[in-house]
């Protein structure tokens, strides 16, 4: 569904229970359907280059997610405990958004982003293996 100038996605997408990959990049989406969290087999969510201002908490209910690409949007924050139950997550690209503040639980799980690269990788005891990319967000200026 890439590059179709879509402004919304119907809630009925939640009925696609076996869906593993969802490509919605280069559209005009301002929000995602809440039913997205019901896609328990979803492994890849590509929502970059849209008009999203928030990451719906329902995305965090997709426990099979391995990769999220949400770069190039207008996202202003990361919801509290957003990554808490995403045990399979390998990478999440949130670069080129408007994220100004990182929630405390995010910092505890991934640490502060490296100023030069905008990457958060592992916590001190190496229980977190996901790479979170935050470059080109205002949050990096605050952590210098």
Alpha-helix residue ranges (DSSP H) falling in 73-142: 104-110, 139-142
pLDDT by residue for the chain (144 residues), tens only, comes to 888 999 999 999 999 999 999 999 999 999 999 899 999 999 999 999 999 999 988 999 999 999 999 999 999 999 999 998 888 999 999 999 999 988 888 888 887 787 777 787 755 455 556 889 999 998 855 444
At 133, list the tokens: 């990319």
Torsional class of 48: left (φ above 0), alpha (ψ -120 to 50), beta (otherwise): beta
* Helix (H) or strand (E) run with residue 119 in it: strand 119-120
Cβ pair 27, 3 in contact under 8 A? yes
pTM summary value = 0.88
Distance CA 4, CA 101 (A): 32
Block residue for tokens 């995602």: 32
């Amino acid at each position: 569904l890439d590059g179709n100038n879509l402004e919304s996605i119907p809630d009925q997408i939640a009925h696609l229970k076996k869906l593993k990959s969802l490509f919605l990049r280069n559209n005009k989406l301002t929000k995602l359907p809440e039913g997205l969290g019901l896609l328990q087999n979803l492994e890849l969510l590509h929502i970059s280059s849209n008009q999203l201002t928030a990451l719906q908490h329902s995305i965090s209910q997709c426990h099979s997610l391995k990769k999220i690409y949400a770069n190039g949007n207008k996202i202003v924050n990361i919801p509290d405990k957003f990554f808490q139950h995403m045990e399979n997550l390998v990478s999440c690209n949130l670069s080129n958004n408007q994220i100004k503040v990182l929630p405390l639980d995010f910092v505890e799980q991934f640490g502060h982003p490296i100023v030069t690269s905008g990457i958060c990788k592992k916590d001190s005891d190496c229980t977190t293996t996901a790479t979170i990319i935050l470059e080109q967000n205002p949050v990096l200026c605050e952590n210098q």
